[in-house]
Amino acid sequence: MAIAEIALSKTRTIAWRRYYDLTKPKVVALILFTTLVGMLLASPGMVSWQSLVFGLVGIGMAAAAGAALNHIVDQRIDAVMERTRNRPLPSGDMDTPHALGFALVLAAVSVLILGTLVNPLTALLTFSAFIGYAVIYTMYLKRRTPQNIVWGGLAGAAPPLLGWTAVTGELHVNALLLMLLIFVWTPPHFWALAIKRREEYARAGIPMLPVTHGVAFTKLQVLLYTLMLLTVSLLPFINHMSGLLYLAGAVVLGLGFVFQALRLWLSDDDRYAMRTFGYSILYLTALFGFLLADHYVG
């Protein structure tokens, strides 16, 4: 009896693990962090627990739903790419109907929570971002244009804006600045990874920039976008949204990103591509951390 119970418990754990993997937990964690920063920056004082808790839950569920639909649509592509072939669907650990049901339930509950317990504007914007990522980017842009990650990045840049509206119920120029930061950050972040994985994208038939325009051109674009990002990162200070603490952090982090991109551009191969990709994640996390620190300390 005890052995049977242990086996059943293990089976359930594996099943839940498959659903968990569908949500791209590392990506969702970064989304929720930037959402939280948007929430906290939206108010000079304490944020109401209802906006904080239900806002994060609803936005997080929408992000997880978008990730699950991305798995469903991209399962053929994932199967031929080394980085993604062990995901639940291409590996055969889960079937499409279960994954689709999971994604649709998450999306529906997300809209319900945000619409009834947060505010209608946040529900509408979150649903729009969900459609932008899961449908417009994944189903259309990703397969048709090498600029896919640029325009598709609009949906991925929305979390701090959603966090802001969850607290205030209205749009604000500062929230749009936070969104702009992630929008400009996305291309150099993702193109660095695409340089390393270009052969896999080519086999999958995805027109990523290094596949269609070559590695040298993509390296230049990474550098140019990184310089643009350094400029954009100064706007919160210029707009009096943040102070000197944030400015110092933005300049140091931005110069570090430019160094990574410059080294990638000057190299004869792709050996610095993953270092640039890894630094880009550190950059965004630390930049939003400086925004938060400046808000409360600076």
pLDDT over 70 percentage in the chain: 94
pLDDT surpasses 90 at 235: yes
Residue 87: band (very low, low, confident or very high) from pLDDT cuts 50, 70, 90? confident
**What's the rounded mean pLDDT across residues 290-298?**
91
Q: What is the C-alpha separation between 156 and 160, in angstroms, rounded?
A: 10
Give pLDDT, residue 4.
Answer: 43
Q: Could you write out the DSSP letters of every residue in 106-164?
A: HHHHHHHHIIIII-HHHHHHHHHHHHIIIIIIIIIIHHH-TTHHHHHHHHHT-HHHHHH
**What's the rounded mean pLDDT across residues 41-47?**
88
pLDDT surpasses 80 at 228: yes
Give the dihedral of Cα atoms 191, 194, 196, 200; nearest 10 deg: -170
Residues 96-99: contacts with CB under 8 Å, at least 24 apart: 96/72, 99/22, 99/68, 99/71, 99/72
**What's the rounded mean pLDDT across residues 204-215?**
93
Comparison of pLDDT for 91 and 124, the residue scoring more? 124
Q: What is the C-alpha separation between 160 and 179, in angstroms, rounded?
A: 6
The contacts of residue 205 (CB under 8 Å, 6+ apart) are 77, 143
**Which of the four CATH numbers 1.10.357.140, 3.40.50.300, 1.10.443.10, 1.10.260.40 does domain 1-171 have?**
1.10.357.140
Phi, psi of 48 (to 5 degrees): -60, 140
Give pLDDT, residue 7.
Answer: 38
**What's the rounded mean pLDDT across residues 185-204?**
93
**What's the rounded mean pLDDT across residues 154-163?**
94
Give pLDDT, residue 298.
Answer: 65
Q: Identify whether the C-beta of residue 132 lies closer than 8 Å to the C-beta of residue 154.
A: yes
Give pLDDT, residue 46.
Answer: 83
Q: What is the C-alpha separation between 124 and 120, in angstroms, rounded?
A: 6
Give the dihedral of Cα atoms 6, 7, 9, 10; nearest 10 deg: 120
Residue 80: band (very low, low, confident or very high) from pLDDT cuts 50, 70, 90? confident
Residue 215: band (very low, low, confident or very high) from pLDDT cuts 50, 70, 90? very high
**What's the rounded mean pLDDT across residues 41-55?**
91
pLDDT surpasses 80 at 70: yes
The three-class DSSP label of residue 194 is helix
From 6-15, 96-105, 153-162, 219-228, the region with the lowest mean pLDDT: 6-15
**What's the rounded mean pLDDT across residues 108-119?**
96
Give pLDDT, residue 11.
Answer: 44
Give pLDDT, residue 15.
Answer: 61
Q: How much is the pTM?
A: 0.90
Query: What's the whole-number average pLDDT of the chain?
Result: 90
From 40-49, 80-89, 119-128, the region with the lowest mean pLDDT: 80-89
Residue 58: band (very low, low, confident or very high) from pLDDT cuts 50, 70, 90? very high
**How far from 171 is each of 167, 248, 274, 284, CA to CA, in Å?**
10, 27, 36, 22
pLDDT surpasses 60 at 3: no
pLDDT surpasses 60 at 2: no
